[in-house]
A and B are shown apart, each in its own frame.
Chain A
């Protein structure tokens, strides 16, 4: 089991550029979550998908953020245009069906927007 795989691990980009973060959940997991972690705000849930369908995107900060899950094995989080305040660690997590399971987190993408 390779776990939840995120890419890239680090991303440095200039303000105004488009950024795409990628996530491959654990095979068989039907829920996928994108989180953002900063010192100021802690862990924030941005969006989650169940069976590839976005269920709750109320945590997405603004229209510059979008997320897709075209199939059960891949999801993207896109920021366009990026701003310095988007600098954070972005985590993807996936979960098995059923409430008794916790999330398995990926290693995260550390995004720096300069």
Chain B
């Protein structure tokens, strides 16, 4: 199974600032990568996913992520955050089995 690590536990930033959340995975073969968001008190929702093709993936709510195979990374970015982006963000990876391995999550707090 995959091992997924997220670099930051908690990120605090102001509205309109740019956001980048780091994610690294362990598996060297074919891998599917995902970012999920969990707003306070809610369930996880899929932001975006990568499984082949263009390594720059665009998701919902203005988020994008870049798959860099040589670095085993799949970092999430947003050029200008809003207060409503306050949430917890989870990176996840899936390789040859059914299991989706999640990172520990990064809490993002956006100050108005």
Contact = CB atoms under 8 A, between A and B. Distances in A.
A50 B43 contact: no
Interface stretch (A19-27, A80-88, A94-102): A94-102
A34 interface: no
Contacts of A108: 43
Contacts of A33: 100
Contact of A42 (B49, B51, B52, B102): B102
B44 A48 contact: no
Interface in A32-46: 33, 42-43, 45
- Range class of the A interface residue count: 20 to 34
Contacts, number: 50
A99 B99 CA distance: 9
Given A102-B49, A105-B45, A107-B43, A50 B98 contact: yes
Contact of A99 (B42, B51, B92): B51
Contacts of B102: 42-43
Given A42-B104, A43-B90, A100 B44 contact: no
A95 B98 contact: yes
Contacts of A50: 98
A74 to B, nearest CB: 19
A109 to B, nearest CB: 11
A102 to B, nearest CB: 5
Contacts of A42: 102, 104-105
Interface in A55-114: 55-56, 91, 93, 95, 99-100, 102-108
Interface of B: 30, 32, 34, 36, 42-46, 49, 51-52, 90, 92, 94-96, 98-100, 102, 104-105
